[in-house]
Chain A
């Protein structure tokens, strides 16, 4: 059981993340959805801090809330200015209700599987004391440069291909 401060932070950020996620679906203007998604990402970053993962929390804010959301907001501004005006209010057709019911069944299944067997994996070597003595970011960097060097290099190739693909796709043909 954590300290009461941890519980307060967890409760606030969990409720905030869930509410922001619901608002992403409910708001009809895509720009509002994008702003609530940024809020959701910030709350998730706080959750990462509670899990003592400073590196992932900062990367979450920089990559998701910064880079990806900036791309999304720019795209919304480029293409759907008059698009949002004619978007009809959210109607609950039978198909959608069926989808929502199925999603809730999925949630129940996930939680059921969770409580059937709790984290059955083997314990690793990185105890909190060891990580605290090395430093969290330093541990991540060391692993990236030693055990995970091959995927680390591959991922740079993936990013390069992503850049080239985006440029080629939106290029105007002459």
Chain B
């Protein structure tokens, strides 16, 4: 087996790419995609840990996280459609309804 450190570092690198995407991009949908990328990067870490520790807890935790991510995607994208319908934009710096 490949040493566990490689998988964990790969998960960290993909996670940080997602963080940079959230910080740099302005389109809400691209930010959402970067969040999905961060979720799957955490998945690599969980599966690697549970593989090398001979346990299944991480795998099942990731399974539940995936179902929650699917529900989150449905609701989040519905919110984007609603935002676009009422405000004609989905750019994160133009959605300032809650700012005072």
Q: A residues near B, CB below 8 A?
A: 1-2, 6-7, 10, 14, 17-18, 21-22, 24-25, 30, 33-34, 37, 40-41, 44, 47-48, 50-53, 55-56, 59-60, 63-64, 67-68, 71-72, 75-76, 78-80, 83, 87, 90, 96, 99-100, 102-104, 106-107, 110-111, 114-115, 118-119, 121-128, 139-140, 143-144, 148, 151, 155, 158-159, 161-163, 165-167, 169-170
B12 lies within 8 A of A79 (CB): no
Q: B residues near A, CB below 8 A?
A: 1-10, 12-21, 23-27, 29-30, 32-34, 36-37, 40-41, 43-44, 47-57, 59-60, 62-64, 66-75, 77-82, 84, 89-91
For residue B79, give the distance in angstroms from its CB to the closest CB of chain A: 6
B5 lies within 8 A of A115 (CB): yes
The interface residues of chain A lying within 8 Å CB-to-CB of B32 are: 72
Contact A158/B67 with A24-B34, A47-B10, A100-B20 known, Cβ cut-off 8 Å: yes
From DSSP, what is the main secondary structure of chain A's interface residues? helix
Partner of A110, one of B16, B30, B43: B16
The interface residues of chain B lying within 8 Å CB-to-CB of A60 are: 40, 43, 66
- Provide the bound-state CA to CA distance between A111 and B8, in Å: 8
- Provide the bound-state CA to CA distance between A105 and B21, in Å: 15
Partner of B36, one of A68, A122, A151: A68
B57 lies within 8 A of A124 (CB): yes
B6 lies within 8 A of A10 (CB): yes
A166 lies within 8 A of B74 (CB): yes
- Provide the bound-state CA to CA distance between A97 and B26, in Å: 14
The interface residues of chain A lying within 8 Å CB-to-CB of B14 are: 17-18, 21, 40, 44
B23 and chain A: residue at smallest CB distance: A99
A148 lies within 8 A of B81 (CB): no
- Interface core residue of B18, B41, B75 (most chain A CB under 10 Å): B75
A76 lies within 8 A of B29 (CB): yes
- Provide the bound-state CA to CA distance between A165 and B77, in Å: 11
B74 and chain A: residue at smallest CB distance: A166
A64 lies within 8 A of B66 (CB): yes
The interface residues of chain A lying within 8 Å CB-to-CB of B64 are: 151, 155
Closest 7 pairs (CB-CB, A-B): A124-B55, A162-B71, A99-B23, A169-B78, A79-B84, A21-B17, A166-B78
